[in-house]
Structure formats: C-alpha cells, structure tokens
Amino acid sequence: MGKGWCLFFLFWPVAAVVSCAMAPFVGWSFPYDNAQAASNLGIRIDDLFYIILIVTAIVFVGTQAVLVYALWRGANNREERATNVHGNHKLELIWSIIPGAILLFLAIYQMNIWADFRIKKYYPEAAVKDPLAEVTARQFEWRFRYPAIGKKLQQKPQPDDLYSVNELHVPFGKPVMIQLRSDDVQHSFFLPALRIKQDALPGLQIPVWFEANKPGTYDLVCAELCGWGHYKMKAHVIVQSEDEYQAYLKNLTQKQFYDGLGKIAAKETGTESEAVE
C-alpha cells in the first residue's frame, strides 16, 4: 500500500469540510437571502437538514480519519505482521447500536415537521377552507385559476374565475393552499426558496400548503424531467402584501373581462398602438 492512498482518503474529508464551510460565502448554499428559507416551515426543514449534515459529517470525517490512520501505520511499518481476527462481538454491537440510535432519533425528531408539511389533518384550517388557486402543470408551463374576488375556489371552473399563466401571486404572512393538478404527464411543483416540492400527477388533485414569510419574486420550477421542453417550465411566484395581492386580483379581473372599450381601454389601446411607432 502506497502513501498515496493515505493522501487520497485524507483529501475527501478535508474537501468536504472546506466546501461546506465555504458554501454560504460562494453561493453554493440554499437559495435566497443568506440561505434563509422564505417560509417558516422551510426554516424548520433547513434545521433538519443541518442536523443531518452535522451527524453525517462527524461520522464521515471520523471514519476517514481512522482509515487514513490505519493506512499510514501500515505503510510505515514493514516489521509488524497483521493478525487474522475473526469477529469482535463488542465492536459489532457498538457499530450497530450507535447508527441505529442516530437513525431512530432522526426518525422521531422529524415526524412533527413531516406531519405539518404533508398530513392534511395538520394543515392550517384557514388555508384548507379557502384554497388560493388551482395550479395546473402542463408541458411546459404552469397555469393558475383563482376564484373571483370574494368567492371560493370551486372544483369545476366558474364563469368568473380568474386565470393567469406562469405568474402566481401570493400574499405573505398567512398560510395558503393550492390545488395541484397535471394536464398531461408527471410534473413537480418546486419552490426552492420556500423548500416546497410536490409531484403533480395526472388525474389527481393534490393540496399543497405553504406560508411565505417575506415579499419577493421566487422561482417556481418543475422538478421532474417531464419532456423535451422541461427546462422551459419556469414560472414566478410573486409574494406580496395582502393589499398588493388584492390589487393584483382586481387588475386581473379588469383585464380578463376587457371588452375592447371598457375601463382599461385607454391602457389597452395604449399598449396596442405602441406597436404603431
């Protein structure tokens, strides 16, 4: 065994620790605002991630250190002969019980977060009662259907529903729920900034809730390789104050019921005649 292997196995734990330490400063970390999630549940999910990262880092660095030490000793010592040992009951127990305990701890520790995230019984009541919008994933775009102002989202489309594409507006500071659907193949509703990810399946309507905690424009991407144009399946989620959100809905209503002459005629012909110049 050459000493080269010692260096090789030493390199990886060092590289792992250095790259993790560097990550927040060079933008390799979680997206947005100093790696801080834009939803409260997202912050809890991040904490979970960090616990797992620290546990695995300690185990990884520890085992690599022992490996490097053993290799180093072996490479420097030509006299001492290795002895053949068959099994060590104590050792077997230790390396079964410790990882088992760690896994059990993680399994129990994360249950609350998982329940809050995915079990409908634990969804915030207000959000479940009054879903914000229906989100339909489609090759290769996101279509949104909101209920008319002051009304509730119905299972079937209503004449006064409001529609938009690739631009979902959401108020912050309160939990909201969307009904996720797919028109064709399997897609995935992924809000990296909010740490929300849920597959959309054809034929199913899946409720997803989230609570954005600060205003901003966030990416909504498809996290399922869904076809040739998958990379195009990008939208924006615009998180804004309740007032701004209501103003947006009002504007959407006016636009959608535009008859070529109505109130926003000036604006519309303005944009249309711009093409003249």
Partner 1 sequence: MRFGFRRLILLSLIPLISFTGCEQPQVKFVFSQKTNELIPEAAKPVKEALVRQFGNPFELTQFEGLPTDFGDVQGTVKSVESSGKDQPLIRFQATGLENAYDKLLGLPLEWTSGKGQGHISRIKEYDFETGTIAVEKSPEIDPQSGDTFLVECVRLQFGRDLYNRHCMHCHGMSGEGTGPTSRYLNPPPRDFRLGIYKYTSTKPTSKAQEADLARTVKEGIAGTYMPSFKLLTDDEVSAIVNYVIWLSIRGETEKKLVDELFLDYSETALAERTSEDGGETREEVLEELKEYMELDFPDTLEFATSSVAEAWEEANLEDAIVTPQTPRVADTPESRERGRKLYLSQKTKCASCHGPQGRGNGTATQDFWTNPATNEKYSERGLHDIWGNLLPPRNLHRGIYRGGRRPIDTYRRLYSGIKGTPMPAFGGSLTDEELWDMVNYVMSLPYDGNR
87 binds, among partner 1, Cu ion, none (CB under 5 to 8 A by kind): none
Interacting residues with partner 1 between 234 and 253 (CB under 8 A): 234-236
Nearer to partner 1, 87 or 159 (CB): 159
Question: Does residue number 166 form part of the binding site for partner 1 (CB under 8 A)?
Answer: yes
Phi, psi torsion values for 215, nearest 5 degrees: -70, 155
Residue 202 per-residue DSSP state = B
Other beta carbons within 10 Å of 14: 11
User: What is the secondary structure of 132-197 as a DSSP string?
Assistant: -EEEEEETTEEEEEEPPTTSPPPSS--TT-EEEESEEEEESSS-EEEEEEESSS-EEEEEGGGTEE
187 binds, among partner 1, Cu ion, none (CB under 5 to 8 A by kind): Cu ion
Rounded CA separation 36/90 (Å)? 43
Q: How far is the CB of 202 from partner 1 (least distance, A)?
A: 16
User: What is the secondary structure of 70-88 as a DSSP string?
Assistant: HHHHHHH-SSSPP------
229 binds, among partner 1, Cu ion, none (CB under 5 to 8 A by kind): partner 1
Question: Does residue number 181 form part of the binding site for Cu ion (CB under 5 A)?
Answer: no
Question: Does residue number 255 form part of the binding site for partner 1 (CB under 8 A)?
Answer: yes
* The one segment of 17-25, 71-79, 117-125, 155-163 that binds partner 1 by CB under 8 A: 155-163
Q: How far is the CB of 147 from partner 1 (least distance, A)?
A: 14
Half-sphere exposure of 231 (CA within 13 A, CB side): 1
Question: Does residue number 270 form part of the binding site for partner 1 (CB under 8 A)?
Answer: no
What would the two tokens of residue 13 be? 């734990």
Q: Which residues of this chain interact with Cu ion, rule CB under 5 A?
A: 187, 222, 226, 233
Contact positions toward partner 1, by CB under 8 A?
A: 2-4, 8, 138-141, 143, 157-159, 163, 165-167, 228-229, 232-236, 255-262, 269, 271-276
